[in-house]
Amino acid sequence: MHRTAAPAWLQATPLSAVFALFFLVPLGLILMVSFWDFNEYELQPAFTFKQYAAIFEGCGRLADDGGLCVTLKTYLSTFKFCLLVWLITLGVGFAVSYFLAFHVRSSGMQTALFVLCTIPFWTSNVIRMISWVPLLGRNGLVNQSLVGIGLVEQPVEWLLFSDFSVVLAFVHLYTMFMIVPIFNSMMRIDRSLIEAASDIGASAWQTLWHVIVPLSRTGIIIGSIFVITIVMGDFVTIGVMGGQQIASVGKIIQVQASYLQFPLAAANAVILLALVLMIIWGLTRLVDIRKEL
């Protein structure tokens, strides 16, 4: 018997309800609390910009030492890590994806190597992150090896609890988020286009730059969105690998929430969300992501 399909709005209702309940409602609550006030004992429902003013207090002038205010320094530090991790993961992710897509001929071998890349992600992020500590510590394996072969006289201090260790952990944790979308885009490239470029005399670098990179742009943008959004809000990696000595926006929000300063933490979260959405909006202007999805 012929059955009439349910209206489109009715089919979308369950997913829309889940999206509203677990995404829109929490965001609305965070936005609402960011305009509240608080004291040592309770939250005080109100509509005030006090928390936003407190965040940027003193940022209109230079600090006593001639530097920027704490908030701007923190955001600059977060953007610094974000930029470094994005550049490194983009280079590594593109190289790995290019090798898998164009230099591995067998589809079975491609699958096997791709699964091999995902094996580290079968364990917890915390375990993979902490595994660097015995390697990079003052008495760790790396320092013992460097001292043993005579490259250094004393253990290298900046290998752990430094910007280097934070970036290294970020790259280790999130490179796969760059590999997957770029590899997916490269596998969709028509191989006849590469052959055509070779037939008209294009070198390997010219083919890479003028054919493969433009056609992989959607995957690059999607991977960039994944990496940037995760790094911008991460506070566990910076806390552990930075020895609780390196500031980031996510770390500040976590500390404020732990001290029950929820309106202040919510205001910081709203500002961070706005900045991340602006970055995502700028990236999505470069390509039509819907074609990839």
Show the domains of the chain with their CATH numbers.
Answer: 79-292 (1.10.3720.10)
- The answer to whether 77 and 247 are in contact (CB under 8 A) is yes
State residue 63's pLDDT score: 58
Nearest to 238 by CA among 230, 246, 249: 246
User: What's the whole-number average pLDDT of the chain?
Assistant: 87
* pLDDT tops 90 at residue 171: yes
**Residue 186 to residue 204: CA distance in whole angstroms:** 16
N- to C-terminal Cα separation, the chain: 34
Instruction: Give the integer Cα–Cα distance in Å for 286 and 218.
Output: 9
**Does position 197 have pLDDT exceeding 80, yes or no?**
yes
pLDDT band at residue 30 using 50, 70 and 90 as cut-offs: very high
pLDDT of residue 7 exceeding 80, the answer is no
pLDDT band at 117; cut points 50, 70, 90? confident
Return the ∠ at Cα 105 (arms to 104 and 107), rounded to 5°: 95
pLDDT confidence of residue 64? 56
**CA 215 – CA 194 distance, rounded (Å):** 11
Look at residue 113 in the predicted model and tell me its pLDDT. 86
Task: For CA atoms 157, 159, 164, 167, give the dihedral sign.
Answer: negative
Instruction: Please give the C-alpha separations between residue 30 and each of 20, 104, 200, 211, 248, in angstroms, as whole numbers.
Output: 14, 48, 57, 44, 19
Give, for 38, the enclosing helix (H) or strand (E). Answer: strand 37-38
pTM: 0.87
List the structure tokens of 167.
């970036």
Using CA atoms, how far apart are residues 261 and 288, in angstroms rounded to an integer?
A: 40
Q: Which of 69-78, 144-153, 219-228 has the highest mean pLDDT?
A: 219-228
**What local confidence, expressed as pLDDT, does residue 65 receive?**
56
Label residue 4 by pLDDT band (50, 70, 90): low
Tell me the mean pLDDT in the region 256-264.
Answer: 89
Q: In which band, very low, low, confident or very high, does the pLDDT at 122 lie, cut at 50, 70 and 90?
A: confident
Which of 18-32, 46-60, 215-229 has the lowest average pLDDT? 46-60
Which residues pair with residue 43 across a beta bridge? Answer: 38
Report how far residue 69's alpha carbon sits from residue 92's, in angstroms, rounded to the nearest whole number: 35
Phi, psi for 65 (deg, rounded to 5):
-90, 10
Closest to 129 (Cα-Cα) out of 182, 166, 179, 103: 166
* Mean pLDDT of the 283-290 span: 80
